[in-house]
Amino acid sequence: MRDKKKVNIKPWLFIVPSLVLITLFVFYPMIQAFITSLQTGMGNNLKFSGAANYKRLLTDSTFRKALFNTVLYLIVQVPIMILLALAISSMLNDKRLKCKGFFRTAIFLPCVTSLVAYSIIFKSLFATDGFVNAMLMNLHIIDAPIAWITTTGFARALIIIAITWRWTGYNMIFYLAGLQGIDDSVYEAAAIDGATGFQKFRYMTLPLLKPIILFTTINSTIGTLQLFDEPMNITSGGPANATITISQYIYNLLFKYQPNFGYAAAVSYVIVVLIVILSFIQMKVGDDKE
């Protein structure tokens, strides 16, 4: 008889604690939320209602507005932020640039700034009598102050500006780390062949940073689909729900309106489905295998 292979259980001892915690705090809540989404009522009076909550989504005008706003922020803000982070990281990676540490810190600083503090500052800067309107009027770009917070289009633009300001530096750090891992000889060889700065960026930098770009794009997509803080603190979802997001709508369903746990759970699963679909598409687009 052949000797049975001994199973080494030591690696499992390191994995089990993490697996238990992930199951308790991630998978179990996800399953419980899905079960709740199939129920109506609240507290101990929850009753199974099948797909009633999901059918309600189709006729809910506030949900449609929240979904539209969330997708709008996603398709406008994420590409702007990614391109801006790429451009800034390329400039900060230039060996001729002085005071690199200062610029890197200054651009990354918004990521660690207090959300409430920066929201108050943004509301002050973009107030009708705020600094931004005063500057634009002094430059003769506008004739009258813009109501940034109370006008639909400008309120959405303000949210996009705020998110971009806060998170561009976060993505920049990843790109900067990737650029510093590219050997200088690659660019030197391209320069000998007569490549311009843009050609180096287009045909060398971008392909070499492709895995990092994919990672940051997926992260930014997930973060934007879960967007809550900026609309809540800067515009409160207004005017007339013009800037409300799906996450903020879930909050309102649970704590602001009459509590409806089942419907809130159903709305939350829309975010889950969107994240899964968009992440899958982005991974397929970024796949190098032919």
Is residue 46 predicted with pLDDT exceeding 90? no
Among the ranges given (34-43, 111-120, 155-164), the one the predictor scored with the smallest mean pLDDT: 34-43
Top-confidence residue, 167 or 12: 167
> What residue spans of the chain are helical by DSSP H?
10-22, 28-37, 52-57, 61-92, 100-108, 115-125, 131-138, 152-180, 184-192, 197-200, 206-208, 210-225, 229-230, 246-251, 261-285
pLDDT number for residue 2: 54
Q: Which residues contact 282 (CB under 8 A, 6 or more apart)?
A: 214, 217, 218, 221
Tell me the residue range of the domain where 142 lies. 58-285
Residue 26 inside a domain? The answer is no
Q: How far apart are CA 28 and CA 268, in angstroms?
A: 15
Structural domain contains residue 135: yes
Q: How far is the C-alpha of 230 from the C-alpha of 205, rounded, in Å?
A: 33
pLDDT on residue 126:
93
Region 57-77 average pLDDT = 93
Q: Mean pLDDT across the stretch 133-147?
A: 91
What's the mean pLDDT in 80-92?
A: 92
Q: Flag whether pLDDT at 6 surpasses 80.
A: no
Is 43 domain-assigned?
Answer: no
Indicate whether 51 pLDDT > 80: yes
Q: What is the pTM (predicted TM-score) of this model?
A: 0.86
Check whether 3 has a pLDDT greater than 70.
no
Task: Report the amino acid identity of residue 216.
Answer: T
Span 114-120, average pLDDT? 86
Q: Which of 106-120, 145-159, 179-193 has the lowest mean pLDDT?
A: 179-193
Report the DSSP beta bridge partners of residue 39: 48
- What is the gyration radius of the CA atoms in the chain, in angstroms? 24
Look at residue 219 and tell me if it is in a domain.
Answer: yes
Asked whether the beta carbons of 155 and 149 are under 8 A apart, the reply is: yes
Does residue 114 fall inside a structural domain?
yes
- Domain assignment present for 277: yes
* Least reliable range by pLDDT among 32-41, 145-154, 157-166, 263-272: 32-41
Task: Please tell me the predicted confidence (pLDDT) of residue 90.
Answer: 87
Q: Is residue 134 part of a domain?
A: yes
Q: How many domains does the chain have?
A: 1
- pLDDT tens readout for residues 198-237: 888 888 888 888 889 999 999 999 999 999 989 999 998 8
Domain with 278 in it: what CATH number? 1.10.3720.10
Q: Residue 1 above 50 pLDDT? A: no
Confidence (pLDDT) at 50: 82
Q: Residue 94 above 70 pLDDT?
A: yes
State the Cα–Cα distance between residues 225 and 272, nearest whole angstrom.
Answer: 9
> For the purposes of burial, counting CB atoms within 10 Å of the CB of 85, is it exposed (0-12), middle (13-18) or buried (19 or more)?
buried
List, in order, residues 6 or more apart from 30 with CB less than 8 Å away. 272
Q: Please provide residue 273's backbone torsions phi and psi, each rounded to the nearest 5 degrees.
A: -65, -45
Query: If you average pLDDT over residues 151-162, what whole number do you get?
Result: 93
How confident is the model over 63-79, as a mean pLDDT? 94
Residue 44 lies in a domain: no
Quick count: other Cβ atoms within 10 Å of Cβ 246? 22
Bigger pLDDT: 266 or 2?
Answer: 266
**Taking the CB of residue 184, how many other CB atoms lie within 10 A of it?**
8
